[in-house]
Amino acid sequence: MFEGIEVQEQALLAPYTTLHIGGPAQYLAFPKNQDELLSLLQEANAHHLPIYLLGGGSNLLVNDDGVQGLVIYLAGDFAQVEISDSKDHIWVGTAFSFPKLTRLCLELGWEIALGWSGVPGLVGGALKMNAGTRLGEIGEVVCQVEAVTPAGKLILSHDQMGFAYRHTAFPKDAILCRAELYYPQANPQKKAELLAKASQLAKTRKATQPKQRSAGSMFKNPPGDYAGRLIEACGLKGTQIGGACISQVHANFIVNQGQATAKEMLALSEFAQKRVYDQFGIELEYEVRRWGF
Ligand SMILES: Cc1cc2nc3c(=O)[nH]c(=O)nc-3n(C[C@H](O)[C@H](O)[C@H](O)COP(=O)(O)OP(=O)(O)OC[C@H]3O[C@@H](n4cnc5c(N)ncnc54)[C@H](O)[C@@H]3O)c2cc1C
């Protein structure tokens, strides 16, 4: 199976996630271009294997027993980037580092990139999650995305992607491959100013987010409120189950104190979700993607 493509069997996923939690993937494949990706998807489909796309693993909780099926980690051509002479267009592969893209955008004078400065992971995960902060989201600059599904290659326009707060409407089986970004106000002369602002934002992040391993915010903010405020108001900061702990620094971050299992992380997040519901009648929606549960 999967001839000519690098594939590992029973490969541990923990090292691919920022939480450092997660058992093995039945198959972990590293396609280098869209043709290899298409043939992988078609073969997985023919064998009825579930398909998972792994980006930087910074928004993932993978079960301790791992996942049955094919996990895909894009490599090769997917990590390329190109900039137009006018500096207002970028074509970027989805395996390109998102922090590196952010830095590049700031150097080109794309002020909007301050909105997602400090977000880890890869470009593909950022597109899928519409990564950002209240200062801006990546979806605002995405014109179109090339994607591959088992049925073939397709190009999606901005309006087909349904960008909203930590939400997109990509076809369920679409693997995002390459994005065209456009920011008409690009002004490379602002580089120094923007880098200084980004460094200030990084300091704020450092002071307001935990240092331990996490997958970022566990829950989305409900309309008009903050998941962290609600969890904190339930008195849950510092609550632990095994090695999982609700951060003392930011209650919407559930951290791995060293040896936490996925089951402990999930149990603690469900406990927080239930306490918030009991106290405020608000059902927190997961932001973190959970695999294999
Ligand atoms: C310390 C910390 C701080 C964070 N701060 C923020 C923040 O301020 N704002 C914010 O928005 N997020 C934040 N996050 C969450 C996370 O970094 C973002 O959601 C990030 O964009 C996820 O990218 P990733 O490559 O790691 O995706 P992954 O975690 O690997 O995957 C996330 C989802 O995207 C899918 N996916 C990934 N690549 C593709 C692709 N090519 N095609 C189709 N689907 C794909 C995966 O299947 C999965 O469903 C933070 C996380 C951490 C650990």
58 is catalytic: no
- pLDDT confidence tier of residue 32, bands split at 50, 70 and 90: very high
Q: Write down all domains in the chain, each with its CATH number in brackets.
A: 7-73 (3.30.43.10), 79-205 (3.30.465.10), 210-291 (3.90.78.10)
- pLDDT confidence tier of residue 231, bands split at 50, 70 and 90: very high
Residue 1 has pLDDT above 90, yes or no: no
Q: 189: CA distance to ligand 1 center in Å?
A: 30
* 0.95 exceeded by pTM: yes
Arithmetic mean of pLDDT, 90-118: 98
**Cβ–Cβ under 8 Å, residues 270 and 293:** no
Instruction: Give the type of residue at 39.
Output: S
- Catalytic residue (choose from 117, 217, 247, 269): 217
**Cβ–Cβ under 8 Å, residues 255 and 244:** yes
- Cα separation, 235 vs 272, in Å, equals 10
Helix (H) or strand (E) holding 193: helix 191-208
166 is catalytic: yes
Residue nearest to atom 22 of ligand 1 (CA): 125
Q: Which of 160, 154, 122 is nearest to 138 (CA)?
A: 122
What pLDDT score does 19 carry?
98
Arithmetic mean of pLDDT, 225-248: 98
- Cα separation, 94 vs 55, in Å, equals 8
Residue 20 has pLDDT above 90, yes or no: yes
* pLDDT single digits (tens) 113-171: 999 999 999 999 999 999 999 999 999 999 999 999 999 999 999 999 999 999 999 99
Does ligand 1 come within 6 angstroms of the Cβ of 62?
no
Does ligand 1 come within 6 angstroms of the Cβ of 45?
no
* pLDDT single digits (tens) 242-268: 999 999 999 999 999 999 999 999 999
* pLDDT single digits (tens) 193-220: 999 999 999 999 999 999 999 999 999 9
State which ligand 1 atom lies nearest to the alpha carbon of 209. 1
**Mean of all residue pLDDT scores within the chain:** 97
Residue nearest to atom 33 of ligand 1 (CA): 125
Residue nearest to atom 6 of ligand 1 (CA): 119
What pLDDT score does 77 carry?
97
Arithmetic mean of pLDDT, 54-81: 98
Place of tokens 């080109």: 108
CB atoms within 10 A of CB 269: 23
